[in-house]
Structure 1
Amino acid sequence: MKTIQTQVKYVEWLSAEEMHDASKEWLSELRFIKDEHLFFEDLITTYTSLIIESGKFSDTTEIADAINKSDKQNNLLIEAVKVHENKLQIMVDGIDQLKEEKAYTKEHSDLIIAISDFLKEYKSLKTQLFDIIKNIKKEDKFRHMIDKK
């Protein structure tokens, strides 16, 4: 017996102002993440010697690759939100363009999903990176304690 999966699609009507506010919030958050990517790259560079000593180099290279991939995806999302924001005129021009307005709303819905998925992956990446650095710092501190004895 086959089970048929149906996707329930909840569509909330959003005003042009709400979509504009959401776009501004996305841009702010994505730009902040862009700065965090630079911080992460600097963090990895700073702890490179300790990372090599700890034997976690392969984990770290995977994380560094994931940071680069995340940064590229972040840049794409920033551009997509900027383009989306520029198209907002369709919603507020007072001209009934049902097809274009529906397409804009669909694009906004797709961006909600894409950004939400990106933020989930980003949070996981961030947690992994901090766990690696935390463990390396603990091991380094422990080594220094043993060396002092």
Structure 2
Amino acid sequence: MEYTYIDSYSAEDMHEHSKKWFSELSFIKDEQRFLISLIQSFAIKPIDKKEFSKTEEFRKDIEENQKILNPIIKQVQKHMNQLEIMIDGVNQLEMEHAYRKTHKKLFQKVNQILLDYRTIKERGFAKLSSILKSTKQKKALGNPDYQVRTVNKEEINS
């Protein structure tokens, strides 16, 4: 989903944007750590070269996104700290204009990062799910002792 920027946002609106951005970007940062761990867990399982390269692509995409994400989080944090320029009651037109200009740039950057990250996740999850499906089939087919049996009610209750 893409958002449209409005030039006449109030200081309160800009503050709410900044808080939301910081929250979303921080969540992505945490999620990326989890995803890297998840990908590493795939790497220790017996998977073929093709499947391994899929996990590596996903890991590299996340790491590239991390390189972009960290500086943006710092910029958003700095932007939040500078909000006082807009609400201090002092008439500083140049600084207020610069703050609004920065806000617009961050609005666009954060929006693009969120869209890019969503795409990375969608592609990566598709890769991981295809690996899961193929390894499940191999396990079920490759296990001669695997048998389906019915369970009696007595066995469930005991």
Shorter-normalised TM range: 0.7 to 0.9
Equivalent residue, structure 1, for 2:139: 144
User: 51-60 or 61-70: which moved more?
Assistant: 51-60
2:11 maps to 1:16: yes
Instruction: Indicate which of 99, 104, 109 corresponds to 2:99.
Output: 104
Please tell me whether Structure 1 or Structure 2 has the larger radius of gyration of its CA atoms.
2
Equivalences for residues 46-85 of structure 1 within 5 A: 46-50=41-45, 52-53=47-48, 55-85=50-80
Aligned-CA RMSD value: 1.7
Q: Name 1:88's counterpart in structure 2.
A: 83
Question: Contact (CA 8 Å) 1:54, 1:136: kept in 2 or not?
Answer: no
Separation of aligned partners in 1, 2:49 and 2:101: 48
Aligned: 1:123 with 2:118: yes
Structure 2 Cα separation of the partners of residues 100 and 138 of structure 1: 56
Percentage of matched positions with identical amino acids? 37
Deviations 1:75-131 (A, max 9, x none): 111100011111111100101111110110010000010001111110011011111
> Could you say which residue in structure 1 is the equivalent of 2:39?
44
Q: Within 2, Cα distance between the matches of 1:123 and 1:66? A: 12
Distance 1:75 1:51, change over 3 A: farther
In 2, distance between residues paired with 1:141 and 1:70?
30
- CA contact 1:34–1:71 (8 Å) conserved in 2: yes
TM-score normalised by length of structure 1: 0.87
| Runs of 4+ residues deviating >6 angstroms | none
Letter in 1 for 2:42: Y
Task: Tell me, in whole angstroms, the C-alpha distance in 2 between the residues paired with 1:52 and 1:84.
Answer: 45
- Kept in 1, the 8 Å contact 2:55–2:128? The answer is no
Residues 26-85 of structure 1, C-alpha deviation per residue, up to 9 Å, x if partnerless?
111111001110111001100014474262333332221111111121111110001111
Check conservation: 2:5, 2:104, Cα contact below 8 A: no
Residue in 1 that maps onto 2:129: 134
Aligned residues: 141
Contact kept, 8 Å, 2:15 with 2:83, in 1: the verdict is yes
Instruction: Please list every run of 5 or more consecutive structure 1 residues that lacks an aligned counterpart in the other structure.
Output: 1-8
What TM-score, normalized to structure 2? 0.83
| 5+ long unaligned stretches in structure 2 | 145-158
